[in-house]
Structure 1
Amino acid sequence: MKNTGINIKSEAELIRQIKNGEDEALLDLCFRYKPLINKVKGMYHVRYYDNQDWEQDAMIICHASAKSFDLNKGKFGSYFKTRLINHARSLVRYDNAYRRQALKQSVSLETAKKNNLLPLNKSFVSIPEIPLSENIAILTGKLSTLETNALLIGLGIVKQKDVIEKLKISKLTLSRARSRLAQKMRQTLLD
């Protein structure tokens, strides 16, 4: 690294300053470990976490690490790295636990049959109740009533004969709606 005349403080000096409450030393120390922060950020994917969230968490962890670090033991870089990776893993565990909540509430088919549980009435299911990504939400906003019904048939939520009887349409009309649906799906989801 090239010294450009700027007063480059040692890591130990920055840590001492952070322990004394000097905020600018924290910024310098975080800047020094920016490559490490970026590496950890790239290793772990957490839903709904953007660069600002990662940088803020890294700064908080850097501050806590500097406050609790003993300058007579080991290297700060490895201590900070361990704490940052542990934090990232905790975020991933929390995110995965959130995703498993639906599994905790589910019941196997055998248990449902044994306990005489009835399936949900499919007439209550609507498109907005299904978890959707932005692209899916955009797609459903572009669909006509007939195309929406074609989608519900494709997802197995409603039966084809029920839609044909309810809307009083032919199989050919429904087939054309499926074709338009497929075209809109390609345009919306693949572009």
Structure 2
Amino acid sequence: MSSSPLKVGVIIGSVRSGRFADTVADWFVSEARRRHDMDVEVIDLSEPALLEELKLSLDPAEGPAKAPRLDRRIAGQEAYVVITPEYNHGYPASLKLAIDYVYSEWRAKPVSFVSYGGLAGGQRAVEQLRQVFAEMHAVTLRDTLSFHNAWEQFDDEGKPRDPDNVSKAATVLFDQLAWWGQTLREGRAKRPYEA
């Protein structure tokens, strides 16, 4: 078993101006970076270079963008956490575009979810994403972290109003992601995954 930290990509799926994703992501990433068994990289789809790359991917005449190549950033990770809102009972189009933009890079790697929204807490978006990632041959984890009526769950400083419970839920997510990430890392090393 490799003792090196698991490379975890935290993907922020919303690109809307004024998005609540920053509040959720800032807290979650600070929790993740406390783990010694994980090396966290934030992949924010609203980064101008990534956003431009995704826009250019829609126009075959433009060709691939020269900026930090989403496919390489995704490929460099061993596990993923997708932070997604729920928009109109689904997940953002930017996230679907990013998932489809790469392909084999997702294979045989675990994906977990942090969702937020209104009454459903983003869970309808997560259920749809499970189907999409299954097609990519990724392994989605059962337990998620969801924020129902998310804007009420954080104070003005971006801290959870119920820090103990959300930290416990985050720990469950991290522990499961670490187990699956290490297990699939070993599996890919012993026998490359072929779809």
Q: TM-score, normalised by structure 1?
A: 0.28
Larger helix fraction of residues: 1
TM-score norm. by structure 2 comes to 0.27
- The higher radius of gyration belongs to 1
| Greater relative contact order structure (CA < 8 Å, 6+ sep) | 2
Name the structure with the higher strand share: 2
